[in-house]
Structure 1
Amino acid sequence: MSSSGTGGSDYDVVISGASLAGSAAAILLARQGARVALLERRSDPEAYKVLCTHSLTACASPVLAELGLIPALEKAGAVRNEGRWYTRWGWIEPWAGPAGAELPYGYNIRRSTLDPLIRARAAQTPGVDLLLGHRVTGLVREAGRAHGVRAQTAEGEREIRARLVVGADGKDSEVAKLAALPVRRHDNGRFGYLAHFRNLPLRDGISHAWFLEPDMAYAFPNDDGVTVVAVLPDKKRLPAFKEDLEGSFSAFLRALPEAPDIDSAERITKITGTVDYPLLSRKPTAPGLALIGDAALTADPLWGVGCGWALQSASWLARAVGPAATGQGDLDASLTAYARTHRRRLRGHQYLAVDYAASRPFNPVERLVFSAAARDASVARHMHLFASRLIGPSRFLSPAALAKAAVVNLKHRRAAAR
């Protein structure tokens, strides 16, 4: 039996936040027989997150398949996120491999398309009650553990009890604050602005990223002929950048190597962004409570991994706690298993992201790998697997991988000398 001992709960699980992580968790838990209350503070079912890379890395593809969303994504015009990356050694083009070899891929799709789609899929799932206009204001606690939430609605405050409370409410998670879960904050040395362009020409119609050391930029083609273009400069440039945001944004893009021709495209949104986006890591569990998505770990938007990790963490949680959420197992042991998986799968990635968020040039290891990837197709494919978060840092930077990169660069120097 579950150690929570709340057989009289309104629900088995109450989830705060009905975007990617929350909706995915609701679907996967309900399929295992859980009664799920999916709370969303906004009242509009079409609401979506604006500030996002709008990219689902390939690590999320198995979860998308599990959710049954891939046909709907492709019908909605999602773009497979192949890409090429600029470095001072040239372009890294990871698709340049043996004939017929297809690399794993995810999708680029605007959140204005994706969020309503996955939220509607959750609302249609038997066992899920989508409760719009519900803003969590408190936790129901008994004997040191969470047993539900208090939520403010248009009709007043209500209490919703459950065996398990899930915070899927983003980097500023109210659930995490109410539970007083410890958080580690790491400053981000870059700021970022983005805008959407229609009919922006890009080589091969695929994603581009520019590693300018320390500045960054990217252009990701999305659904409906719209490309999301972002700049992420060093914070030292912020005062001058803000003096003329429109001019600075355009000038930055026009100066990029093989710059996208923004003057031939139509900008269809204003320039939006953030000047302070720290990397946050929280303890993802407490008695009767779990965090998923950005509430558990907020990554650097530079890498575009947040959406993928939101879906993955939802899947990890559902797999770990599914039976216990319905009273058929030990909930505390299941939450411990989830926390262990979350830590094992993401801690190394976050460690490297925190290090690079200092807004610095490449270190010697990065120079070794990135330069080799620009010169060798197999190293480029290896980098693609890491950028897609299909392999972890230990495999990406394994002795064999570094030796391969060193050999590639040595051959290049010898050839250049000849």
Structure 2
Amino acid sequence: MTAPEDHDYDVIISGASVAGSAAAIMLARRGARVALLERRSDPAAHKVLCTHYLQPCSYPVLDELGLVPALEKAGAVRNEARWYTRWGWIEPKAAPSGPELPYAYNIRRSTLDPMIRSHASGTPGVDLLAGHAVTGVIREAGRTVGVHATGPDGPTELRARLVVGADGKDSPVARFAGIPAKSHENERFSYFAHFRNLPLRDGITHSWFLEPDVAYAMPNDDGVTVVAVIPDKKRLPAFREDLEGAYLDFVRALPDGPAIDAAERITKITGTVNYPLHSRRAGAPGVALIGDAALTSDPLWGVGVGWALQSAQWLAEAVAPALTGRGDVDRALTAYARRHRRGLAGHQHLAADYAKARPFNPFERLMFSAAARDAGMARHMHLFASRIIGPLRFLNPVALARASAVNLRHRGGPSPAPVHLPHPTP
């Protein structure tokens, strides 16, 4: 192993959005020297295509980063939620004698990204190199040992004991390092826009599971509400014919939907018609991937920012002792990749299956229907939807038995059918 003094840095991170900035902060606090490269020069640069939803699983990371007071001051909305199903609304509430439900925040990336990037740049041990794009990696003896980059002063070369790709779903670092992606097609597409003066009941997030179509409305900072529609691709021709008309008709037809016509739209309608799910090995010799570079899931679940923060924390915890103590970095990377897979692979498997734009399967029907009928099951659903618990705990035998008992009490009533929105006429 090359000695640290032969490197420019302990860690080079490509990408200074949520995952990269969080990793830079946590690694530097643990004693690592970090170069944080960001291809964009604008300090206000931010990701546009995002749910702007920080899952409750990310709250411990936000707390470690020291961002909670700043988020609250910026007007971030604590994210309670309710979900519409054919059996009625699932409305998780804290137990009368229990603790409050876990939460994190809804906050626009135009607020969050500059905030966390500024926090990183002010952290001792972090050098933020704005306007620097990675153009290749340096490999020696089968191991990545640095990057080629271009910046305001032209090409440059940086070396480090670890290179981190925090550079999104199409990750150049992963491509240069030869780490392939496994992809799953997404049979839904999505469009969203931001509104003012769009009140939601109780001021909390609403989601609609219409089997197979999905939609959500999320209150954010500064009184802005994000409204997204995520339909089956069978509806795509109508949206291509008249995007605004199809989008508005879809929202107007939502059961108990928001009063979209009374609100002020403050952004254009934007989105994507092809957003496959990607997953990559999170660690390789000399390289780690975090955030969307490691795993890009279906945007309808709003997990991207939360998982970006969690993966950054997992990486820092795994590799910092080796980086600062001259230990075996690659062995630490193997441990990180194992933790990443253990924490997220099950969730990704379920997301990839649901991305087929199918109706609920029998297990989903059992759990969603019970959650709409029973407060305890609604809390259990909240823990899973918040990614506090994984699929095995969500579908454990005790939970399945309780869901079955709840539904047996409702046996004999009419069996509701899925709500299908009318197809817009081009």
Corresponding position of 2:322 = 324
| 2:118 pairs with 1:120 | yes
Corresponding position of 1:170 = 168
Within 5 Å, give how 1:85-124 maps onto structure 2: 85-95=83-93, 97-98=95-96, 101-124=99-122
Closer/same/farther in 2, CA of residues 10 and 110 from structure 1, 3 Å limit: same
Corresponding position of 2:237 = 239
Contact 1:17 1:167 in 2 (8 A): yes
Contact 1:45 1:116 in 2 (8 A): yes
- How far does residue 398 in structure 1 lie from its aligned partner after superposition? 0.7
Which amino acid counterpart does residue 76 of structure 1 have in structure 2? Answer: A
Which amino acid counterpart does residue 162 of structure 1 have in structure 2? Answer: A
Q: Deviation digits for residues 355-380 of structure 1, max 9, x if unmatched? A: 10000000111101100000000000
Query: What is the RMSD computed on CA atoms of the aligned residues?
Result: 1.3
Contact 1:82 1:95 in 2 (8 A): no
What is the alpha-carbon distance in structure 2 between the residues aligned to residue 202 and residue 299 of structure 1? 27
Corresponding position of 2:77 = 79
Contact 2:3 2:326 in 1 (8 A): no
Q: Deviation digits for residues 160-215 of structure 1, max 9, x if unmatched? A: 11110000000010000001102100000100000000121100000000000000
| 2:19 pairs with 1:21 | yes
Q: Deviation digits for residues 326-380 of structure 1, max 9, x if unmatched? A: 3431111100110010010001000000010000000111101100000000000
What is the alpha-carbon distance in structure 2 between the residues aligned to residue 396 and residue 241 of structure 1? 36
Corresponding position of 1:271 = 269
Closer/same/farther in 2, CA of residues 397 and 4 from structure 1, 3 Å limit: farther
What is the alpha-carbon distance in structure 2 between the residues aligned to residue 404 and residue 161 of structure 1? 55
Corresponding position of 1:284 = 282
What is the alpha-carbon distance in structure 2 between the residues aligned to residue 252 and residue 145 of structure 1? 51
Which amino acid counterpart does residue 39 of structure 1 have in structure 2? Answer: L
Closer/same/farther in 2, CA of residues 349 and 179 from structure 1, 3 Å limit: same
What is the alpha-carbon distance in structure 1 between the residues aligned to residue 304 and residue 61 of structure 2? 14
SS state at 2:411 partner: helix
What is the alpha-carbon distance in structure 1 between the residues aligned to residue 207 and residue 197 of structure 2? 18
TM-score (normalised: structure 1):
0.97
What is the alpha-carbon distance in structure 2 between the residues aligned to residue 227 and residue 416 of structure 1? 35
Contact 1:6 1:147 in 2 (8 A): no
What is the alpha-carbon distance in structure 2 between the residues aligned to residue 82 and residue 96 of structure 1? 11
Q: Deviation digits for residues 29-77 of structure 1, max 9, x if unmatched? A: 0001111000000000110000000000000000000000000000000
Corresponding position of 1:157 = 155
Closer/same/farther in 2, CA of residues 379 and 4 from structure 1, 3 Å limit: farther
- How far does residue 154 in structure 1 lie from its aligned partner after superposition? 2.2
SS state at 1:125 partner: coil
What is the alpha-carbon distance in structure 1 between the residues aligned to residue 315 and residue 396 of structure 2? 29
Counterpart selection for 1:340 from 338, 341, 354: 338
Contact 1:185 1:280 in 2 (8 A): yes
What is the alpha-carbon distance in structure 1 between the residues aligned to residue 5 and residue 329 of structure 2? 13
What is the alpha-carbon distance in structure 2 between the residues aligned to residue 102 and residue 115 of structure 1? 28
Which amino acid counterpart does residue 259 of structure 1 have in structure 2? Answer: G
Closer/same/farther in 2, CA of residues 160 and 24 from structure 1, 3 Å limit: same
Within 5 Å, give how 1:22-41 maps onto structure 2: 22-41=20-39
Corresponding position of 2:203 = 205
Corresponding position of 1:224 = 222
What is the alpha-carbon distance in structure 2 between the residues aligned to residue 100 and residue 162 of structure 1? 48
Which amino acid counterpart does residue 347 of structure 1 have in structure 2? Answer: A
What is the alpha-carbon distance in structure 2 between the residues aligned to residue 109 and residue 409 of structure 1? 36
Corresponding position of 2:421 = none
SS state at 1:7 partner: helix
Counterpart selection for 1:406 from 404, 411, 419: 404
Which amino acid counterpart does residue 31 of structure 1 have in structure 2? Answer: R
- How far does residue 7 in structure 1 lie from its aligned partner after superposition? 3.3
Which amino acid counterpart does residue 336 of structure 1 have in structure 2? Answer: T
What is the alpha-carbon distance in structure 1 between the residues aligned to residue 67 and residue 231 of structure 2? 35
User: Percent of pairs identical after alignment?
Assistant: 73
- How far does residue 415 in structure 1 lie from its aligned partner after superposition? 7.7
- How far does residue 95 in structure 1 lie from its aligned partner after superposition? 1.6
TM-score (normalised: structure 2):
0.96
Contact 1:166 1:290 in 2 (8 A): yes
What is the alpha-carbon distance in structure 2 between the residues aligned to residue 95 and residue 53 of structure 1? 23
Which amino acid counterpart does residue 245 of structure 2 have in structure 1? Answer: G
- How far does residue 416 in structure 1 lie from its aligned partner after superposition? 7.9
Corresponding position of 2:423 = none
Within 5 Å, give how 1:1-20 maps onto structure 2: 3-20=1-18
Counterpart selection for 1:250 from 248, 251, 254: 248
Corresponding position of 1:387 = 385
Closer/same/farther in 2, CA of residues 312 and 242 from structure 1, 3 Å limit: same
Corresponding position of 1:299 = 297
Contact 1:12 1:35 in 2 (8 A): yes
SS state at 1:95 partner: coil
Corresponding position of 2:310 = 312
Corresponding position of 1:368 = 366
Contact 2:284 2:334 in 1 (8 A): no
Structure 1: 5+ residue stretches without partners: none
SS state at 1:169 partner: coil
What is the alpha-carbon distance in structure 1 between the residues aligned to residue 19 and residue 264 of structure 2? 32
What is the alpha-carbon distance in structure 1 between the residues aligned to residue 136 and residue 293 of structure 2? 16
SS state at 2:164 partner: strand
Which amino acid counterpart does residue 331 of structure 1 have in structure 2? Answer: V
Closer/same/farther in 2, CA of residues 389 and 127 from structure 1, 3 Å limit: same
Which amino acid counterpart does residue 82 of structure 1 have in structure 2? Answer: E
Q: Which range moved further: 100-109 or 371-380?
A: 100-109
- How far does residue 108 in structure 1 lie from its aligned partner after superposition? 0.2
What is the alpha-carbon distance in structure 1 between the residues aligned to residue 279 and residue 3 of structure 2? 30
Stretches of 4+ moved more than 6 A in 1? none
Contact 1:4 1:288 in 2 (8 A): no
